[in-house]
């Protein structure tokens, strides 16, 4: 069962950041990154990542951001190509028009464009990197981090057989991961969870993620998972069904954690008040950026709802920002912040390496990682430059 987080006082007020920055050119770089192994979820299989990188140039410095959208609209309605289009056609014209801006002002200028949170988050991340590098300040410090390293879990994709799953989980536990998350879908769910629990024992922190594969009619079936002492069940129902999750929660002993449903701090507050979730997965990309992610952290902290940092198979750029976020006080459960080698043979920054089941929070200015331009270039499938008019 999950540790119940002690109430944590919310981080107060708007964060003072760095100076206003002037951006002269924006490079949108698309890279193709093969995954070390296919990642199967209830909505599809990923074999490589089509990643959109945002590279800002201005004021003698640079800033990098990463868009977490996948190539297909399976996890959410956003997808990489659409993110690039909305950035080029609607977001950049708004944020390149004024002379100088902070990341917080960039966020406000993008707000009139509805949705497209992953696209907005990528621009905000790059702007934060640019601004905080100029200020000589780390993102972790800016966000209010309280830890130098964060506990890491790993998200395990579905396999053809139970034996393959057990073998994969064994490898991750040997590598030191502090929590295992199994992707589930109707049909194999109970058997696979039982197999893992029986093989590795009651002490392993174990949780499951359905990516919206169930309906409320499956409540009795999902209640069969209660006997396995799971930390949580993540997003059992479709993202729009907050009330459905609240009804389901009353029929399960396992705490419900929401992922896809939580698109803003306002939705998080409503979901908690309705009883739709007892735990929240925070992904900055899903909610429009790190500033909104921090607000969700605060909303949850004020309500004694623990949070943890989700993942979207990020490169070292997005991982650096996620690890900084996961160092905030109310991130009391291990996140899907795994080491670079769980995803890629070669990352585009220095790799994130697991030490005793933890990743170190970068301390350098901005995101605190250096992008290896030669590696990016070798993976580039398309590059577009947008200049200030």
Note the residues at the interface with ligand SMG (CB under 6 A): 39, 41, 46, 70, 75, 155, 209, 211, 259, 310-313, 336, 338
Nearest alpha-carbon partner for 87 in 106, 63, 60, 62: 106
Nearest alpha-carbon partner for 336 in 177, 201, 202, 210: 177
Q: What is the Cα–Cα distance from 376 to 143, expressed in whole angstroms?
A: 27
Question: Between residues 159 and 211, which has the closer beta carbon with respect to ligand SMG?
Answer: 211
Q: What is the Cα–Cα distance from 244 to 50, expressed in whole angstroms?
A: 33
Residue nearest to Mg ion (CB): 259
209 binds Mg ion (CB under 5 A): yes
Tokens of 359: 């990743």
Please tell me the count of residues contacting Mg ion according to CB under 5 A.
3
Half-sphere exposure in the Cβ direction for 302 (13 Å, CA): 14
Question: Residue 252 pairs with which residues in a beta bridge?
Answer: none
Question: Between residues 66 and 209, which has the closer beta carbon with respect to Mg ion?
Answer: 209
Residues 307-324 as b/e (b if ≥16 CB within 10 A, e otherwise) read bbbbbbbbbbbbbbbbbb
Question: Between residues 104 and 152, which has the closer beta carbon with respect to ligand SMG?
Answer: 152
Tokens of 382: 């398309």
259 binds Mg ion (CB under 5 A): yes
75 binds, among Mg ion, ligand SMG, none (CB under 5 to 8 A by kind): ligand SMG
Active site residues: 183, 283
Residue nearest to ligand SMG (CB): 311
76 binds, among ligand SMG, Mg ion, none (CB under 5 to 8 A by kind): none
> Please, what is the minimum distance in Å from the beta carbon of residue 177 to Mg ion?
17
Tokens of 202: 């009651």
41 binds, among ligand SMG, Mg ion, none (CB under 5 to 8 A by kind): ligand SMG
298 binds, among Mg ion, ligand SMG, none (CB under 5 to 8 A by kind): none
- Which are the contacts of 204, defined by CB distance < 8 A and separation ≥ 6? 173, 179, 180, 196, 197
> Please, what is the minimum distance in Å from the beta carbon of residue 46 to ligand SMG?
5
Binding site for Mg ion (CB under 5 A): 209, 234, 259
């Amino acid at each position: 069962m999950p540790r119940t987080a002690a109430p944590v006082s919310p981080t107060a007020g708007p964060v003072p950041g760095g100076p206003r920055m002037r951006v002269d050119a924006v490079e949108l770089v698309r890279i193709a990154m093969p995954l070390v192994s296919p990642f199967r979820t209830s909505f599809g299989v990923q074999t490589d990542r089509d990643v959109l990188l945002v590279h800002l140039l201005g004021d003698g410095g640079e800033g990098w951001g990463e868009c977490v959208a996948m190539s297909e609209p399976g996890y959410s309605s956003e997808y990489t190509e659409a993110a690039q289009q909305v950035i080029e056609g609607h977001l950049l014209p708004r944020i390149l028009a004024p002379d100088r801006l902070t990341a917080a002002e960039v966020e406000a200028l993008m707000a009139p464009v509805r949705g497209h949170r992953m696209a907005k988050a990528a621009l905000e991340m790059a702007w934060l990197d640019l601004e905080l590098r100029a200020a000589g300040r780390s993102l972790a410090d800016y966000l209010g981090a309280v830890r130098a390293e964060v506990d890491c879990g790993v998200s395990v994709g579905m396999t053809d057989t139970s034996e393959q799953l057990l073998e994969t989980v064994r490898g991750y536990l040997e590598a030191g991961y502090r929590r295992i998350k199994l992707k589930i879908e109707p049909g194999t769910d109970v058997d696979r969870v039982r197999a893992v629990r029986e093989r590795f024992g009651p002490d392993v922190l174990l949780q499951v993620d359905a990516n919206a594969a169930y309906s409320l009619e499956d409540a009795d079936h999902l209640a069969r998972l209660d006997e396995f002492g799971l930390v949580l069940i993540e997003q059992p129902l479709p993202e729009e069904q907050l009330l459905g999750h609240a009804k389901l929660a009353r029929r399960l002993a396992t705490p419900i954690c929401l992922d896809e449903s939580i698109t803003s701090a306002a939705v998080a507050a409503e979901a908690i008040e309705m009883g739709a979730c007892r735990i929240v997965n925070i992904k900055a990309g899903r909610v429009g950026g790190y500033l909104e992610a921090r607000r969700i952290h605060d909303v949850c902290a004020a309500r004694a709802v623990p949070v943890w940092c989700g993942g979207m198979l990020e490169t070292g750029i997005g991982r650096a920002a996620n690890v900084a976020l996961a160092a905030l006080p109310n991130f009391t459960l291990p996140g899907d912040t795994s080491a670079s080698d769980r995803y890629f043979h070669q990352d585009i920054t220095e790799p994130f390496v697991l030490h005793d089941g933890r990743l170190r929070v970068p301390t350098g200015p901005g995101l605190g990682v250096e992008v290896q331009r030669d590696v990016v270039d070798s993976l580039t499938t398309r590059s577009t430059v947008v200049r200030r008019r």
